[in-house]
Amino acid sequence: MDYEKLYNTYYMQVYSFIMTLAKNHDTAEEITQKTFFKVLTTSKKYAGESKELTWLCAIAKNIFLDDARVQKRFTQDVEPLEKVKVDNFDKSLIDEDFAFRIHEVLHTLEEPYKEVFSLRVFGELSFLKIGMIFGKTESWARVTYHRGKIKIQERMELE
């Protein structure tokens, strides 16, 4: 198995998959690296029963869940240092409602605006990397993101 080709072919897809689970750039990057390290060092090899990407994502998901279980054990007994103030609670509800409205509008947005916006905001990818994913330039990614952002703002004003 050509591990370098496997890594170069699927790194961003595995990273993006984990990013949707972790919602954190550092965690997604760490899990993705652990995934490819495990593939490289494990005695079990790819059996060909599924697509390579599916196999890699399954490994990544298992590593993510294992890490989450460990993290939960460490934080489960810790009491919060400070109670949430009523003002902060109200603000978080407003922010949650606003975020939900953005997701609703984003769901109706046409491609490539939807994916570029998601990769930038939720995937925390640079414009250069977004452009690479689409086989386009960094400038194309910037323009597409900003046009998508304008479309979202316009649609939210209509609601």
Report the CATH number that the domain containing residue 101 is assigned in CATH.
1.10.10.10
Give yes or no: residues 90 and 154 share one domain: yes
Give yes or no: residues 90 and 48 share one domain: no
Indicate the residue among 51, 75, 99 that finishes a domain: 75
Give yes or no: residues 69 and 49 share one domain: yes
Residue 115 lies in a domain: yes
**The pTM is what?**
0.47
Residue 113's domain comprises: 86-158
Give yes or no: residues 13 and 71 share one domain: yes
Residue 10 has pLDDT above 70, yes or no: yes
| CA 49-65-73 angle, 5° bins | 155
Domain count of the chain? 2
Residue 10 lies in a domain: yes
Strands (E), the chain: none
Give yes or no: residues 23 and 69 share one domain: yes
How confident is the model over 9-21, as a mean pLDDT?
A: 90
Residue 11 lies in a domain: yes
Query: CA-to-CA distance for 141 and 135, rounded, in angstroms?
Result: 10
Residue 137, number of CB atoms within 10 A of its CB? 13
Sign for the CA dihedral angle at 43, 44, 46, 51 comes to negative
Residue 66 lies in a domain: yes
Query: CA-to-CA distance for 137 and 143, rounded, in angstroms?
Result: 10
**Is the CB of residue 41 less than 8 Å from the CB of residue 87?**
no
pLDDT at 86: 43
Query: CA-to-CA distance for 56 and 34, rounded, in angstroms?
Result: 11
Model confidence pLDDT, tens digit, residues 95-105: 666 677 777 78
Model confidence pLDDT, tens digit, residues 41-71: 876 676 666 788 888 888 999 999 988 887 7
